[in-house]
Amino acid sequence: MVKKLLTRGKAAMLLLLLVLFAAGLLLEACDKGLYGGKAEGLPADAPPSEEGANGSGGPVTISFWFPWGGGFKQEFYDTVVKPFEDANPDIKVELSFVENSNNSQSSEKLLTAVAGGSGPDVAMVDRFIVSEWAAKDALEDVTEEARADGMAGIYYPGVWSETQYAGRTYALPWNVDARAMFYNKTLMKQAGLDPGKPPRTIAELDAMAARMFKTGAAGKFDQVGFIPWQAQGFLYTYGWAFGGEWERGGKLTPNDPRNVKALAWMQGYGKKYGAGKLGAFADELRQADLNPFLSGRVGFAIEGNWLLNDIASANFEWGVAPMPTIDGGSRVSWAGGWSFVMPKGAKHREQAWRFMRFVAGKEGSLLWAGRAAGKNDLTCIPEVNAQLGLDKQEPLNVFVKLLQHARIRPVTPVGGYMWDELVRAQNLAVKGQGDPQALLDGVKRHLDARLSGVEESRSGSGGPLGDARYE
């Protein structure tokens, strides 16, 4: 009897242990399912629930900073962001206007936010400064995402190169612009010139422009043929028009002999027509809030495709042609534009990339450039430009054709500084306050010194933005 009772007790104890063990397994399974395990019905490689990301179970909100004012925010949301959100219901985009610094293409507010760990997930920046910011470690490297989605192959090659630094990708190109020569056919006729034959060489430009200058009773210019440094007439522009290079073999070459000739040519206009008189003429138009060319009082101007948005109001005949060059045989332009970047420390990398890929890819570019107000906008994607018929739309097609071989400013971490130095040299030259060769030799020395400082700063950097001595 005792043995039977013991046997029965052991059996009951064993049964109790089995029940407790099974209950423990059940509780563990429930615990994992509720707090971080794979939810029922999701694949094994599903990403973590967004409930853990924002605590609400709703869509993830990413922040997007941009420097364009006016009605851009609403127009961009309606045209591009809303379709993105509709196609990606798990993401919401919070748009914030953050102006650039001192009318520049750079934002100290954005850099400061990134350095403090409070930057946005996505930002719009000028492609010209991408390499500069990448050198400061202010941007996330998106090479792998871009490679996985085949982004490099959809853009104009020159434009894509502006997103690169040290062989890595730090941005996606968004829009693009190009430069060409606008000419006033009415003034050409009045000067006895054939309005159907705009100048192709620098010499032809000089000769035609000379016949258009008119001085009023007070000794001021009532009308000018051409002012080289007006509008998009930067030294960069004419260096290329004279066959010069701004970078060769990885070295910056501002004092290339042909760049020196271009600066001397610009200085020649200041000497011949008077830099002060030309400046007074330009100031008069500026004070009247008139674009020089649209005033009808300028024979030739180097401008961008954006001028086509306003030229319908012109009360004179006009045309567009590639800018003149030293030999007349080559077709020269240079391109600029904006890009989308992921600032360092972005909190929602996967969602930020999806947004960048959409707005800067084929779909978003088609939506933006295809809107009613964007009839003269150009995209960085040849396929989209062709789909919109921009390569057949006169005179916009002049700019589209130039994009195929458009130059870009050197991709360098001192790009902004180089721009400022060249503008300084240009201003001194046209005022007769320096020899072109000496001025550009000085720019070369300054750039080399600044680059040396950048390398020292980077080698000693321990985190985002490193040492900002080269700001």
Burial of 30 (0-12, 13-18, 19+ CB in 10 A): exposed
Kindly report, residue by residue over 166-177, the tens digit of the pLDDT: 999 999 999 999
Side chain identity at 158, as an amino acid letter?
Answer: G
Return the structure tokens found at 442: 């000085």
Instruction: CATH number of the domain at 369, please.
Output: 3.40.190.10
Where residue 48 falls among pLDDT bands split at 50, 70, 90? very low
- Whole-number Å distance between alpha carbons of 210 and 230: 16
Higher pLDDT, 389 or 471: 389
pLDDT in the model for residue 329? 87
pLDDT in the model for residue 99? 87
Q: Is the pLDDT of residue 69 over 50?
A: yes
pLDDT in the model for residue 423? 96
CB atoms within 10 A of CB 205: 24
For 323-385, strand residue ranges (E) read: 338-341, 378-379
Give the residues across from 184 on adjacent strands.
Answer: 318
pLDDT in the model for residue 218? 87
Are 316 and 367 in the same domain? Answer: no
Give the residues across from 325 on adjacent strands.
Answer: 201
Are 246 and 358 in the same domain? Answer: no
Query: What is the rounded average pLDDT of the residues 141-155?
Result: 98
Where residue 455 falls among pLDDT bands split at 50, 70, 90? confident
Domain of 144 in residue numbering reads as 56-177+336-392
pTM of this structure: 0.83
Are 133 and 170 in the same domain? Answer: yes
**Residue 76 is assigned to a structural domain of this protein:** yes
Share of the chain above pLDDT 70, in %: 84
pLDDT in the model for residue 107? 78
pLDDT in the model for residue 448? 96
- Whole-number Å distance between alpha carbons of 262 and 254: 11
For 273-350, strand residue ranges (E) read: 300-304, 318-321, 338-341
Tokens 């693009």, residue located: 176
Query: What is the rounded average pLDDT of the residues 392-421?
Result: 94
Query: What is the rounded average pLDDT of the residues 90-99?
Result: 96
- Whole-number Å distance between alpha carbons of 238 and 440: 14
**Residue 15 is assigned to a structural domain of this protein:** no
Are 257 and 380 in the same domain? Answer: no
Return the structure tokens found at 5: 């009772």
Are 61 and 201 in the same domain? Answer: no
pLDDT in the model for residue 11? 45
Phi and psi (nearest 5°) for 334? Answer: -135, 150
Where residue 27 falls among pLDDT bands split at 50, 70, 90? very low
- Whole-number Å distance between alpha carbons of 64 and 25: 46
Q: Is the pLDDT of residue 25 over 90?
A: no
Query: What is the rounded average pLDDT of the residues 294-301?
Result: 97
Are 257 and 268 in the same domain? Answer: yes
As a whole number of Å, the end-to-end CA separation of the chain is 95
Kindly report, residue by residue over 220-251, the tens digit of the pLDDT: 999 999 999 999 999 999 999 999 999 999 89
pLDDT in the model for residue 294? 96
Domain count of the chain?
2
Average pLDDT of every residue of the chain: 87
